[in-house]
Amino acid sequence: MAEEIDDNEFYRENFSADSDWEVFNVQLGELLQKWEVAVDVGVSLQPEELFKCKWHVETERLDMLRNSIAVDYYEAQSTEKGSPTAESEPASGCLQRTNCHHDLMSNWNTFGPPIRNSSELHTLARIYGLRRFVLLHPVPSSTNYMKSTSEFNFFLSAAAVVAAEVSSVVPIFVQIHDPKWNFYTGVAMAPALRTNFRLIGLEQAPPECRYLMGLLTLFHDKVPSSYTQEARVSVRTTYTLDAVRIRMPLYVPFNHGLGSEDIAIDGDVERLDVQHFYALPHGYAPESSTESYLVYTWPELSESVTFDSEQRSDFVPSKAPLGKIYLSVEAFSYLSLCLGDYQAVGKVTRSLESYVGRNFSGMSSGAERTNPLDKLTEHKLSGRRERSYELPSQESLTKRLPGPMTEKELTELLAYLFPDMHPDLALYPYAKQSFKDKFDPMRIKSAVADSLVCRLSCLLATCHAHLGSLEGMAQLWAAFTRQLRVLWDNCLTVPGIARGFPDTRTCLLHQKLQMLNVCVERRLQREAFGKRKQQQAKVMDQQLSEEDDEEEDDSEFYDCDEPTSSSSLPIKAVLSLKPEGRLKRLGQERLLDEPDEYLYVPETQEPVPKTEDQLQDDAEVMLKLGPGSGLSTQMMCTSLMSDMEAFKAANPRGKMEDFIRWYSPKDWEQVLSDNGESTHQLSVRMTTEGNTWQKVWQQAQAVPVARQRRLFDDTNEALKVLHYLETRSMSEIYGLTIIPALHTAILKLIDIYSNAQVQDLFASHIEQLLSDLCRLSRSHSNELPQVEQLLQDLSELERRFYQFKCFERLAGYPKRSNLAEIKRQFEEILKNENSCTIVDKKRGAAGDVLCSGGSLYDLLSPKLEQDISNRLISKDYVIRLDGDTKSTEKGLYLGPQFMRAIVTGDKLRLCGAFTESTTFV
């Protein structure tokens, strides 16, 4: 057995193969070269630029030790273009210095806003003020984070080796421990310098390390003795004030109950004032509040001119050269919540019948009660019912509609939509002037403010949020369509709708209701014309009967010659050329072939109104049929055929040239003959062989408009509109009403801000909302509009208003400050990311007034001094020490030394960036 085993083969190991560490280094080096980390580009950063600019982030994944390592590259997109500033010019003479070193020494991006949001920059950029860096961390970092020292050293050594190989000037960090702790270790290489980045945290820090004196001692212990100059210190202290909470109770229109939060929460109540009634809720949730932070900053001091220890401190608010107030608002508006909930209806595909049952329209109209067999024997000119009618009972309008609302509640909503139909409950009649003054249809594709469409859209959103969810919304829509059917059956126009043909500049629901009104008007005209014809027929019958009676009484008879064949033809011709349907003369124009006869304008049928979806359907049919199709030509020429027939009836001796002179004068061109005489002739497009106009003219017969077939069947079109509205699904109802609801919500905000006298503060934000809504309303996509971003902007605008009301209370309005001063201060808050300067001694020393006025500082200082020790939430110390330029001339490369200490109570976090020379290493 021993002879059969080859030990050399069994225990052989190939030491020439690449190790995992080497493979990882090669992959990391390729990534760094792709990101051009060896190029040190960029100009000096502007003050607070890191906290305002956009960041470019790239992420790649590498496999290492059966784990996935993410490599993130962060780079600030500088907004300022230009040459380096005076601050960077002296350091630019040292070739060993990089932008990383300049960023560590610059005090322009030392402190950012204390209030963090979801889009804030990375923690490393906040701590060190870096514009570029690379970060390595395991994936997923929440469960697969680095725990042991060997793992730290493995990746940190790889980062140092690769950085030296590719001549990287960008610092490389490794994330260690649990990601929520934000611990990092890193390295930055330069031609003769190496900067080591370390972060540590102490839950119970020594008392001396919580103040500047102890931190300076710790800092100088880490710095080589060759640094002879004094360190520069930057300090910021942050205090908190009591949260301001204003109760703005929930108001739901047509809901007379008391909200639960009005009972459970005590405190100051401030109700929102509105001048116009909009059927949308308003108010703020009871947990809404605004927290205030006072931040005092000492931008740069020498370590020898200040003192800060446990016994005495120079860093008190009264001695701060710069002070700001930061506001953090957490507000939830019921208006935004209502619209956000309504957005979910766009995903509900259930039909309306599934909520209210089939045949919810009631089938109670007069047309439906008529026996269809009576139509066979009915005379065309038989009497129709008069327009005066008896209002239907409320039971017939609200019965058999299942839903959460009672008949009384539903009747109240219908009275808001149709005030003329409910005179006893009509509290909000439609204003006629509003249809002309308050809406610019060239902008938002919505409807007139406070019109029926806007009222219905708001009620649907309110019903969905507060009055029964989807079931209540479906119940209201079914009652609305039932009311429309009652109006049609009684020949009444729909109230709250602009007059005229369907306006394609408005929303589709408004166009449909306009179409229904047009159908009602045409029906009334047709019935009135029928009555006139019937009366004329009765008069004619009476006259004929009287003439017959006279002829019977007359005993004298006269003989007349028998008509000859030659005399019968002219009589027949005269009868066939009898003009009919003349409206008026066309000026002094005469027929070309009959100069003695005037040219008459015929009575024609009115244009055919069409809604936007009908026009789109016609365009699709025309596109499918093609330009040469006979059916396509027939669709295009239906109205032309009617007008030609009416023209022939009014002008029996007219010809096509006469018709063109009236119908299309541009095609009757003036030309000069060879003799220089001016004549007229048809244009080229009218004389082309196979011209459609010529074909239609040849086919047209002399038929006056009274005997023509109707181009627009008002009954059929009205039933189409009713059927269209009654067969919509929930998502389709949402698509018809979301734009008017959003439009009305913005108008309600304008009303609230106007009553609060702050409309000028938010004018630019409101204008931006209206522009975004205009773009959404005019998108030609068949899908539902994407309103998520608009709702977020609307919610942010409402949060800003609540923030203003809290700031107004904080500033002591109206007893200790005026509204103009508060608005000026809050305008600064809007521009400077929720911050407002309350003291600026540099500007005050130059003779300027303290920014934002001293009144706010005087108001807040007593509140702070009452319990200043308990209101202090954090102290931030930044210590910097730079190498002497003379030492560089002597061959000593002294790089920048940096340490930040963040003290929060007993906790301490130290963030160091210490540079060492590699010349003799």
Give 755-792 as a DSSP string.
HTT-TTTTHHHHHHHHHHHHHHHT---SSPP--HHHHH
Tell me the per-residue pLDDT of 180-214, one tens digit each, with 9 for 90 and over.
889 999 999 988 889 999 999 999 999 999 999 99
Angle between helices 763-777 and 730-755 (to 10 degrees): 160
| Mean per-residue pLDDT, 485-505 | 91
Identify whether residues 148 and 28 lie together within a single domain: yes
Question: Which sign does the torsion angle of CA 800, 801, 806, 812 carry?
Answer: positive
| 344 and 458 fall within a common domain | yes
Distance CA 666, CA 918 (A): 90
**Residue 69 phi, psi (nearest 5):** -110, 125
pLDDT by residue (tens digit) across 289-305? 999 999 999 999 999 99
Residue 19 to residue 350: CA distance in whole angstroms: 61
Element (H, E) at 582: strand 582-590
Report the pLDDT value the prediction gives residue 559, as an integer from 0 to 100: 41
Average pLDDT over residues 639-647: 89
Are 354 and 237 in a shared domain? no
> In the chain, what percentage of residues exceed pLDDT 70?
80
Cα–Cα distance for residue pair 526/171, rounded to 1 Å: 85
* 758 shares its domain with 848: no
Torsion angle (degrees, nearest 10) of CA 363, 367, 373, 374: 150
Residues 875 and 731 grouped into a single domain: no
Q: What is the pLDDT of residue 9?
A: 54
Q: What is the pLDDT, as a whole number, of residue 45? A: 81
Instruction: Put residue 265 in one of left, alpha, beta given phi > 0 → left and psi -120 to 50 → alpha.
Output: beta
Residue partners of 140: CB distance under 8 A and separation at least 6: none
* Helix/strand/coil for 308: strand
Q: Is residue 577 part of a domain?
A: no
Q: Residues 866, 913: one domain?
A: yes
Q: Report the pLDDT value the prediction gives residue 186, as an integer from 0 to 100.
A: 95
Calculate the CA dihedral of residues 147, 151, 156, 158 and round it to 10 degrees: -150
DSSP 891: T
The count of residues in the chain is 921
Integer Cα distance of 291 and 330 in angstroms: 8
pLDDT at res. 15: 57
Tell me if 391 is assigned to some domain: no
Average pLDDT of the chain is 81
* Short-list 289, 290, 285, CA closest to 260: 285
In a domain, 272, yes or no: no
Query: Quick one: which of 147, 195, 157 has its CA closest to 28?
Result: 157
Per-residue pLDDT at 381: 36
Q: Select from 704, 729, 750 the last residue of a domain.
A: 704
Mean pLDDT to the nearest integer, 30-50: 85
The pLDDT of 224-236, averaged and rounded, is: 90
Query: Helix 334-343 vs helix 452-466: angle between axes, to the nearest 10 degrees?
Result: 90
809: closest CA among 281, 327, 264, 318? 327
Query: Nearest-CA neighbor of 827 among 763, 752, 772?
Result: 763
Q: Are residues 134 and 209 in the same domain?
A: no
- 3 in any annotated domain: no
Rounded Cα gap, residues 744 and 448, in angstroms? 10
Lowest mean pLDDT among 170-174, 408-412, 561-565: 561-565
Residues 62 and 184 in one domain: yes
* Containing structural domain, residue 410: 337-361+396-524+716-785
**Residue ranges of E strands in 303-395:** 322-330
Instruction: With H, G, I as helix, E, B as strand and everything else as coil, classify residue 435.
Output: helix
- With pLDDT > 90 as the criterion, what percentage of the chain qualifies? 41
pLDDT digits (tens, 9 = 90+) for 421-435: 888 877 788 887 555
Alpha-carbon span 235 to 872, nearest angstrom: 14
Per-residue pLDDT tens digits for 63-90: 876 678 999 999 998 765 544 443 434 4
Q: Which residues, listed in sequence order, are joined to residue 60 by a DSSP beta bridge?
A: 71
- Domain membership of residue 220 (yes or no) is yes
- For residue 466, is it within any domain? yes
* 247 strand-pairing partners: 269
Last residue of a domain, one of 191, 221, 254: 191
Through-space distance between the first and last CA atoms of the chain, rounded to whole angstroms: 56
Rg (CA), the chain: 43
The whole-number average pLDDT for the span 840-866 is 58
Give the mean pLDDT of 157-169. 92
Angle between helical axes of 508-553 and 469-489 (0-180°, round to 10): 20
Choose the most confident range, by mean pLDDT, from 14-23, 449-458, 835-844: 449-458
User: Cβ atoms within 10 A of the Cβ of 160, count?
Assistant: 18
Same domain for 168 and 298?
no
Residue 823, number of CB atoms within 10 A of its CB: 16
Q: How many CB atoms lie within 10 A of CB 716?
A: 10
Confidence class for position 267, pLDDT limits 50, 70, 90: low
Query: Alpha-carbon distance 607 to 609, whole Å?
Result: 6
Domain count, the chain: 4
In the block, tokens 């308003």 appear at: 282
265 pLDDT above the threshold of 80:
no
Kindly state whether residue 276 falls inside one of the protein's structural domains. Answer: no
CA atoms within 13 A on the CB side of 259: 19
Does 634 share its domain with 683?
A: yes
Mean local confidence (pLDDT), 475-488 = 93
| Structure token digits, residue 87 | 């601050």
* Burial zone of 334 (CB within 10 Å; 0-12 exposed, 13-18 middle, 19+ buried): buried
Contacts (Cβ under 8 Å, ≥6 apart) of 691: 685
Q: Which residues pair with 881 in a beta bridge?
A: 897
> Does pLDDT of 875 surpass 90?
yes
Q: Are 603 and 705 in contact (CB under 8 A)?
A: yes
Final residue before a domain boundary, out of 191, 223, 255: 191
pLDDT given for residue 892 in this prediction = 62
3-state helix, strand, coil in the chain (%, to 5): 45, 15, 40
Q: Same structural domain for residues 179 and 143?
A: yes
Residues 625 and 698 in one domain: yes
The CA distances from residue 449 to 153, 497, 516, 656, 763, in Å, are 68, 10, 20, 48, 19
Residue type, 919: T
- 443 in a domain, yes or no? yes
Please report which confidence band the pLDDT of residue 675 belongs to, taking 50, 70 and 90 as the band edges.
Answer: confident
Tokens at residue 873, please?
Answer: 């939430």
Instruction: Give the residue-averaged pLDDT of 682-693.
Output: 82
| Under 8 Å between Cβ of 270 and 247 | yes
Overall average pLDDT of the 314-339 stretch: 92
* Range 623-644 burial, b when 16+ CB lie within 10 A, else e: eeeeeeeeebeeeebeebbbbb
